[in-house]
Amino acid sequence: MTKIQLLTTLLALFIFAMLGACSNEDYPEPDVFKVTPDLRTRINTGIKMASRTEKRLFNETFNSFLHKCDEMGSENTPYQYMETEEYADLKKLILSSSPATCYLLMDRYLKRNPPFFSFILNDLIETAYPNTADKIANRMKSLTTVQETMELFPQVCLEIWLDEIESR
């Protein structure tokens, strides 16, 4: 082998070693909805407040709901997905857990999975944080639902929701 081939091989091995050392948590999937870095930092800080148990339980419950949605197929409406037992479990978890689970939910929302996530947030905000729904409506000076506002102005809605969570 020539020196160039040897250096190229060593460089390739080094790159593979570095790629293998990177954890998935260090490089999360990108957000679909773009928000200001300040808002993203607030959400990330809130996520760090969640215990490992809370994160694990949230991920299990949320993934169970997504799996059920996949089983049902894409021809159903968001309301049909939200009538499932898995959604009831997710809603019960959000309503009974610490506010840190809301940060986990916001993070999932920004990644836009599932595509009808704004319906879920509308239901959860109106149930768990009715004052937040009113504040969003007042701020937007509209009669639209939280779901419609989340679709159009996610930055504003998340800021109001974060303010509400952090003030409790």
Question: Where is average pLDDT lowest: 57-66, 108-117, 143-152?
Answer: 143-152
Among 156, 155, 130, which Cα is nearest to 141's?
Answer: 156
Task: Give CA 71 to chain center in angstroms.
Answer: 21
Q: What is the tens place of the pLDDT at every residue in 83-105? A: 999 999 999 999 898 888 999 99
Most confident of 92-96, 110-114, 150-154: 92-96
Mean pLDDT over 136-153 rounds to 74
**Which CA distances in Å does 21 have to 10, 16, 24, 48, 131?**
17, 9, 10, 22, 45
53 pLDDT band, cuts 50/70/90, is: very high
Report d(CA 145, CA 128) in Å as an integer. 15
Question: Where is average pLDDT lowest: 33-47, 88-102, 147-161?
Answer: 147-161
Give yes or no for a cis peptide into 99 (omega within 30° of 0).
Answer: no
pLDDT at 24: 46
Handedness of CA 87, 23, 115, 167 (dihedral sign): positive
Which amino acid is present at 7?
L
Task: Give CA 160 to chain center in angstroms.
Answer: 16
pLDDT at 1: 66
Count Cα neighbours of 6 within 13 Å in the Cβ-side half-sphere.
3
Mean pLDDT over 3-11 rounds to 73
27 pLDDT band, cuts 50/70/90, is: very low
Which amino acid is present at 50?
A
Mean pLDDT over 23-46 rounds to 72
147 pLDDT band, cuts 50/70/90, is: confident
pTM, to two decimals: 0.73
Among 41, 33, 56, 43, which Cα is nearest to 117's?
Answer: 33
Which amino acid is present at 143?
L
pLDDT at 61: 94
Mean pLDDT over 17-37 rounds to 59
Spatial contact of 66 and 87, defined as CB atoms under 8 Å apart: no
